């Protein structure tokens, strides 16, 4: 009987050890990619990890931009039980790193030479104090224009190369009887246009104003010119734009109701979903004057400090995220460019190929800039202060002169 009890105890111990091992070979992932295409793309990563013996515990929190997800995260970290990995953007990653909450990915980063293939501008958020703390998934670029091809052909078929040609095209759209600019009137969308307008006035100007927050640039005549251009663009927007979702603005271009939309490359997904083909049904181009430069935001998986037993699956996940195979499969669906510059563009459509080429060139030239409008130029407090001024000016509540003064004051107060 005693021998039997010892055998049972030994079996139980072995079972417990096996259960603990299985539990350790698991990643718990908090994210807000809940739409069909994004969820499909994530399956590629899940299956890759499963093939390596690592299970995936999914923690999806719906809500674009991740505000709700960050609320859930704070509760988990406060309780001393952080997830293995969390989808995160820009300065949110830096904030968690400053709190000492993030893990260290140097081992896999060094082995796979991430420093050589991940754009330097992304590394600003992927690293803290010289150590890798997050694995970037993609690069969304924001200084795009999406143009209805039929309307462009009626206007002569030439893509606008500068500001004057853009205005001439918008006038032509108006003459055709369609809405020139499809726009959603919410602050981040107003700021997305302003981002591109400021960049079109010069790379050095964009950097000085939005990244360095130089009061001289923020209060300059050139900034007044940027606001003047916003006032002009406002005359080409329909009266019902206020509060419209960005994807509904994309639909206006898709359905031949509007000529073009200024929006990040996630808009491409709406065109593709509608069965539209780049070059045939729509045209993707950089905002005139920003060719050769890219403003970006990047989704990353920040890796939290976990127990010793969970380090291996965490590092395996980080490696899987940066694999060229996953980078290609995910970003083909997402509409973004891979977060590394050596991923082949074979599987991408014409707009995707252009995005990859533009990213590599901007990275090499030092003209890859974090987007002010999308939280990669400055922390949220500064971004929101700029939003407020831009939206008030765009809606006619401030003149260009007043907006310049308000911008300088708002940024100074938010810093």
Give the chain's domains with CATH numbers.
27-140+297-363 (3.40.190.10), 143-296+371-414 (3.40.190.10)
- Least confident window among 9-18, 229-238, 365-374: 9-18
Closest CA to 145 of 277, 264, 271: 264
Q: pTM for the full model?
A: 0.88
Q: According to the model, what pLDDT value does residue 22 have?
A: 44
Residue 11 has pLDDT above 90, yes or no: no
Q: Can you tell me the distance from the alpha carbon of 145 to that of 150, in angstroms, rounded to the nearest whole number?
A: 15
Structure tokens at 343: 């991923």
Q: What pLDDT was estimated at residue 65?
A: 67
Asked if the model's pLDDT at residue 130 lies above 50, the reply is yes
pLDDT confidence tier of residue 171, bands split at 50, 70 and 90: very high
What mean pLDDT do residues 67-80 have?
Answer: 91
What pairs with residue 353 in β-bridges?
A: none
> Tokens at residue 203, please?
């790379």
For the packed helices 163-176 and 221-234, what is the interaxial angle rounded to 10 degrees?
10
Q: Which of 119, 79, 90 is nearest to 363 (CA)?
A: 119
Q: What is the C-alpha to C-alpha distance for residues 301 and 5, in angstroms, rounded to an integer? A: 47
Report how far residue 55's alpha carbon sits from residue 24's, in angstroms, rounded to the nearest whole number: 9
């Amino acid at each position: 009987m005693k021998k039997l009890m010892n055998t049972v105890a030994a079996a139980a111990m072995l079972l417990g050890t096996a259960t603990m091992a299985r539990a350790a070979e698991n990643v718990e992932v908090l994210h807000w990619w809940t739409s069909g295409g994004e969820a499909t793309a994530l399956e590629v990563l899940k299956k890759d990890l499963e093939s390596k013996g690592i299970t995936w515990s999914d923690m999806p929190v719906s809500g674009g931009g991740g505000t709700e997800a960050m609320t859930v995260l704070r509760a988990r970290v406060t309780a001393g039980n952080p997830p293995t990995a969390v989808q995160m953007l820009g300065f949110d990653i830096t904030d968690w790193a400053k709190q000492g909450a993030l893990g260290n990915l140097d081992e896999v980063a060094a082995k796979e030479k991430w420093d050589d293939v991940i754009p330097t501008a992304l590394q600003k958020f992927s690293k803290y104090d010289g150590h890798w703390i997050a694995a970037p998934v993609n690069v969304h670029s924001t200084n795009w224009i999406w143009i209805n091809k039929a309307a462009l052909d009626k206007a002569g078929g030439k893509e606008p190369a500068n500001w004057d040609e853009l205005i001439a095209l918008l006038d032509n759209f108006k003459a055709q009887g369609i809405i020139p600019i499809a726009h959603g009137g919410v602050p981040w969308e107003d700021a997305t246009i302003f981002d591109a307008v400021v960049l079109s006035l010069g790379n050095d100007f964009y950097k000085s104003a939005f990244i360095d927050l130089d009061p001289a640039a923020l209060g300059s005549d050139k900034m007044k010119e940027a606001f003047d251009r916003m006032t002009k663009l406002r005359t080409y927007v329909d009266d019902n734009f206020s509060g419209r979702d960005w994807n509904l603005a994309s639909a206006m271009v898709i359905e031949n109701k509007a000529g073009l939309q200024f929006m990040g490359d996630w808009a491409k997904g709406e065109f593709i979903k509608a069965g539209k083909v780049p070059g045939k049904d729509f045209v993707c181009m950089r905002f005139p004057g920003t060719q050769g430069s890219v403003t970006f935001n990047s989704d990353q998986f920040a890796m939290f400090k976990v127990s010793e037993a969970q380090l291996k699956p965490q590092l395996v996940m980080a490696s899987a995220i940066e694999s060229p195979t996953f980078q290609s499969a995910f970003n083909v669906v997402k509409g973004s460019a891979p977060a590394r510059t050596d991923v082949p563009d074979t599987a991408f459509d014409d707009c995707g190929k252009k995005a990859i080429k533009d990213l590599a060139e901007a990275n090499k030239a030092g003209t890859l800039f974090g987007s002010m409008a999308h939280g990669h130029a400055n922390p949220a407090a500064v971004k929101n202060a700029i939003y407020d001024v831009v939206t008030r000016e765009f809606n006619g509540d401030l003149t260009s002169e007043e907006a310049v003064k308000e911008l300088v004051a708002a940024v100074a107060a938010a810093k």
